[in-house]
Amino acid sequence: MIKIQTYQLKPFFAAGAVKVPLTTEWLRDAVNQLMRDKREKLEKDQADVSLFFNHITATGHPRIGYPLIIYHYIDGIFYITGINEGVLAIESLAKHYKSPFNVDGIVFQGFNKEKSKGEFKLETTVDIRSYRLIEWRPIHHDNLNAFMLMDMVAKVSELNIRIEKHIINELGKYLGVSFEQLNCSITDITRIYEPQIYKKRYLYQALDICFSANVTLPRMITLGNHQALGFGRIETK
């Protein structure tokens, strides 16, 4: 069982009115700015502020494991998903920004909590369920050239292996869930994105896929590379 909660951050502006590029990287920086302004209050709430930027505060090194705060940008609206300790961190931040607030000249309406049960049981099941994976970056940049040289049959086979490993190694290992007799299968590749440069030097390929699996997965969690930035978002079909 995991705790999971998503908040919506809707800005006040007309389409095209904002000059800065609105991405999940921008959102992460904006939320960290909000966090720093209220840091003492969050720490009094015993919120782990390091989760907002996914680095260990004392050393500055990246946290090892699954990100407990995930940033999304979907159809012009920002979302922040908290998992386990990340739920408390976002709840603490949200309660200090109940009225509209400004970040880099963009005014937001506030943190709107989405309706959910707050808990979700990750487990394998008898029945097969269908999911979509949005902007999934399954291949590390070091292995991208070798992947691109594969024929389509080999690519699909490799992607099937990757998705199963992502569920077992990322969700299972770091969130303490056992996925015994997991069975995953890609059923469709609906979009192949142009490779994108990450951090001005690393090339990543993203895909939208449909897959079936004998496992329960909640919306808004992510798999693959750059999970904290919303890549590889799970949606139910």
The whole-number pLDDT of residue 127 equals 92
Q: Which of 59-73, 106-120, 155-169 has the highest mean pLDDT?
A: 155-169
The whole-number pLDDT of residue 73 equals 92
CA distance 231 to 212: 19
CB contact set of 130 (below 8 Å; sequence gap of 6+)? 187, 210, 211, 212, 236, 237
The pLDDT > 70 percentage for the chain reads 95
Q: What average pLDDT does the structure give for the chain? A: 87
The whole-number pLDDT of residue 20 equals 63
Q: What is the pTM of this model?
A: 0.89
186 pLDDT tier (thresholds 50, 70, 90): very high
Kindly report the number of other CB atoms within 10 A of residue 104's CB atom: 10
Judge whether 91 and 80 are in contact, CB under 8 Å: no
Judge whether 210 and 185 are in contact, CB under 8 Å: no
pLDDT for residue 111 is more than 80: yes
* For range 15-20, the mean pLDDT: 55
The whole-number pLDDT of residue 235 equals 94
Kindly report the number of other CB atoms within 10 A of residue 142's CB atom: 8
pLDDT for residue 179 is more than 90: no
* For range 208-235, the mean pLDDT: 94
* For range 166-185, the mean pLDDT: 88
Tell me the β-bridge partners of 134: 233
The whole-number pLDDT of residue 200 equals 66
Tell me the β-bridge partners of 103: 106
Q: Which residue shows structure tokens 């991208």?
A: 144
Residue-wise pLDDT for 138-172, tens only, equals: 988 888 888 888 898 998 999 999 999 999 988 88
72 pLDDT tier (thresholds 50, 70, 90): very high
pLDDT for residue 16 is more than 80: no
- More confident call, 6 vs 201: 6
The whole-number pLDDT of residue 15 equals 45
pLDDT for residue 84 is more than 80: yes
- Decide which of 2.40.10, 3.30.70, 3.20.20, 1.10.3470 is the CATH code for 2-113: 3.30.70
Span(s) in the chain for CATH 3.30.70.1900? 123-236
Judge whether 25 and 199 are in contact, CB under 8 Å: no
The answer to which of 13-17, 76-80, 96-100 has the lowest mean pLDDT is 13-17
pLDDT for residue 201 is more than 80: no
- More confident call, 87 vs 200: 87
CA distance 60 to 58: 6
CATH of domain 123-236: 3.30.70.1900
